[in-house]
Structure 1
Amino acid sequence: MSKSSNTVYFPNLNGVRFIAAFSVLIHHIEQVKEVFKIPHFYDNHLIKSMGKLGVDLFFVLSGFLITYLLLHEKGRFGKINTRDFYIRRILRIWPLYFLIVLLAFFVFPHIPFFVPPNNEISFMSENFYRRLSLFLLVLPNIGFILYNSPYLAAQTWSIGVEEQFYYLWPWIIKNFSWKRLIITVTIFCLGTFFVFYVYYEWIGNTYYANNVPEIVRFFFSQFRIITLMTGGACAMLVYYDKKKVLNILFRKDVQMVVYAVLVICLATGFHINHINLEFYGLFFGFFILNVSSNPRSIVNLEYPWISYLGKISYGVYIYQTAFIVFGVHLIQWVFGKDLSTWSFNLLLYPLATGLTILVAGLSYRYFEKPFLDFKNRFSRHSTGR
């Protein structure tokens, strides 16, 4: 890959998106079964952690690719056009984000096949406008913390985290220094606390009542800045061609050892309190580094069907909970509620997965792609993102 070229391409990244999205899908299928009080495997440590780990894989990948693109733009043109950066991110993220928010607030609660057993209509009657205002401000993670969220839009909390990373990162990369990093993060934290203060003190009736420490803890447990920065650090290793480090990380024996340790940690449920996701983020950074930039990678994800599913993975992530709930209702309506566990699973997994892929594919082709094509007008480099 030439730094003087307009084209930025990394192999296997759609495959990484595929793994992340379908890890979350499996997690959500079992979680929805638990909500419906159907026999489930949600208590299995691997199933329960798949959702968080899948989202963390997305975060590391996002940090990696966004950082590399910013460095590439800065290297080619001597500066970063932050206006165009934000326009590109808006055109990629916002259309589908606002679609699922509007569906979850105004449409799904009134269609029985999309209503989970936790009585979405009753839940939505409380704090409706307080919650909606935060979602419309693209602060779903804060809305989730203060007022909870519609079940079929709960996954959008991670979109809020990514958006807040985008607020910070271009300004840090633009002219990196530790002073600039500290000032930018401080301003962000003060702005975040101001939003919390406004809703907590002036608007009120928050989900956590008077438990301010819990609100702050919850926010920073979700704000995976270290995980995102892990991806950014990996991008810097590639962009600045740190051969001494990369030659070690790219060795086949090192790859085999690291992947073996990762599999053992996942299989045994290895957990480190408070920094568990950051710990696994290091493995994900290693994985992304190798599959994207190492010609001797022992993992290859460049298969047409994987690439396609990775390409529509944003839609898979956004729509999946709605169509899992729909799938459960449809199976129970057609076959009743007395199916055996295995029969139910043999119906639900392909049905929920198939519906999600179908809707995500149609969404990508007819809803997202026009925005993506328009987004390219604001890009100085060509990329598959």
Structure 2
Amino acid sequence: MKLMHGVRLSTRGRSVELDFVRGIAIFVVMGYHFHTVRTGHAWVGILEYPLKSFGHEGVNLFFTLSGFLVGGLLLRQYAQSGRIGARRFIVRRIFKIWPAYYALILFHAIAGRHPRDTFLWQNLTHMQNYFGTSIAQTWSLAVEEHFYLFLPALLILLAHFKLRANALIVVMATLCLIVLGARCAAVASGDLEGAFNYTQYRMDSLLIGVMLATVYWMKPEIWQTVAAKKRWLLGAVALLLAWLAFATPHVALDESVGYTIQALGFCAFIVLVLEHSGRVRSTWLYRGLAWLGVYSYGIYLWHSLALAPGDYLIHKASALGVPSLVAWPVVLAAQFVIAIVLGYLTTRAVEFPFLRLRDALFPDMRGAVVAERQEGSAVEGKVEGIA
């Protein structure tokens, strides 16, 4: 197997660039779900448009980034040793995902905010994307859980035949085409809910991220060639933005070919951010979104609890006669603050301690490997730290 040029051992770390990508994703997801005050002013609607229009696309970005990061853990191991340690991979994923997830489910079971038959068995079995759940945001977690059981099995099978990077990419691209065809058929038959929620129709976004990880870890010369074409990457991201602005309102179009187009555009965005952040990396906005990305999983799990306080503020402002232009930023900001604080506290209280326990009981046997890129590289620290 061909390894990345200049691979060396390094200390643990996080990539601020990839946390920045996560920060963007969680910001638009929150903005999409949060309730706002109706002001009647067109310019407020313009300001709200990016927040209220791209929440689903934020989840699509999470899918593609997750495929790149988490799939990359397996691809890195395969590139180094020619084998896949599926058992350790799954155990480490359990320590990463389940403690915070089940803490959320336990909270709702005790608090009684939702009837238990509307979420409990669905979420406990990770089948909520098929059978529905009143804890609506958890549907995407089920898709990822299913995918990360499927992916090690797929890679073990492909490793048995000692397939190299090109063959791996061809196999995954073929699977993406199959998924795309199945999703288009579902949309054509009118099953828009299934096309949106079901794992078999959404896994191409994750697979495309895994394909990007295959290039990153096993075809460094191609990665460097693509990364050097900054104008092409900017052009791809511009086309992605045009698609988001003009095509996503057409639900059938977006749910058919749109998810695949978005994943490809997000790959270009990930490469652009990793390799060309430059001086922007030191700005307060970039660092702020990257900080948000560190706590994005906790925020994603708990941000729905900010909706009730938001509704309370809306009704209170209306009862007190507070001008809508004054209430609008206060209500929106309050929901962001509540969600971020909850995500921060639960991440510190649950996710981080279990990650330390995981690393003590099931250390990453591959070592803290990072790729030293040529001049201009932005990947610093261990990918495992944010996957």
SS class of match (2:54): helix
Alignment RMSD, CA only? 3.5
TM-score, normalised to structure 2, is 0.74
Is 1:56 aligned with 2:56? no
Q: Does structure 2 retain, via aligned residues, the 8 Å contact 1:291–1:297?
A: yes
Is 1:384 aligned with 2:385? yes
Can you give the 5+ residue segments of structure 2 that lack an aligned partner in the other structure?
A: 180-188, 369-383
Between the aligned partners of 1:248 and 1:81, the Cα distance in structure 2 is 30
Between the aligned partners of 1:155 and 1:222, the Cα distance in structure 2 is 18
User: What displacement does 1:26 show?
Assistant: 0.6
User: What displacement does 1:339 show?
Assistant: 3.6
Match of 1:90 among 72, 75, 94: 94
User: What displacement does 1:316 show?
Assistant: 1.3
Distance 1:6 1:70, change over 3 A: farther
- 1:345 is matched with 328
SS class of match (1:281): helix
Can you give the 5+ residue segments of structure 1 that lack an aligned partner in the other structure?
A: 110-119, 190-210
Is 1:172 aligned with 2:154? yes
- 1:358 is matched with 341
Q: Does structure 1 retain, via aligned residues, the 8 Å contact 2:100–2:298?
A: yes
Q: Does structure 2 retain, via aligned residues, the 8 Å contact 1:11–1:291?
A: no
Distance 1:248 1:13, change over 3 A: closer
Query: Following superposition of structure 1 onto structure 2, how do residues 41-120 of structure 1 map, counting pairs within 5 Å?
Result: 46-107=50-111, 109=113
Is 1:252 aligned with 2:230? yes
Q: Does structure 1 retain, via aligned residues, the 8 Å contact 2:313–2:331?
A: no
| Total equivalences in the alignment | 331
- 2:26 is matched with 21
Between the aligned partners of 1:312 and 1:16, the Cα distance in structure 2 is 12
Q: Does structure 1 retain, via aligned residues, the 8 Å contact 2:95–2:355?
A: yes
Q: Does structure 2 retain, via aligned residues, the 8 Å contact 1:20–1:54?
A: yes
Between the aligned partners of 1:102 and 1:212, the Cα distance in structure 2 is 36
User: What displacement does 1:253 show?
Assistant: 1.6
Instruction: Tell me the amino acid that sits aligned with residue 172 of structure 1.
Output: L
Distance 1:212 1:247, change over 3 A: closer
Instruction: Tell me the amino acid that sits aligned with residue 384 of structure 1.
Output: G
SS class of match (2:219): coil
- 1:286 is matched with 268
Match of 2:350 among 357, 367, 374: 367
- 1:137 is matched with 125
Between the aligned partners of 2:190 and 2:102, the Cα distance in structure 1 is 29
Q: Does structure 2 retain, via aligned residues, the 8 Å contact 1:46–1:269?
A: no
Q: Does structure 2 retain, via aligned residues, the 8 Å contact 1:14–1:307?
A: yes
Is 1:327 aligned with 2:310? yes
Q: Does structure 1 retain, via aligned residues, the 8 Å contact 2:17–2:277?
A: no
User: What displacement does 1:317 show?
Assistant: 1.1
Deviation digits for residues 6-44 of structure 1, max 9, x if unmatched? 768655110011000001011011xx459xx997959x8
SS class of match (2:126): coil
Q: Does structure 2 retain, via aligned residues, the 8 Å contact 1:12–1:301?
A: yes
Distance 1:214 1:304, change over 3 A: closer
Deviating more after overlay: 11-20 vs 264-273: 264-273
Between the aligned partners of 1:242 and 1:76, the Cα distance in structure 2 is 14
- 1:241 is matched with 219
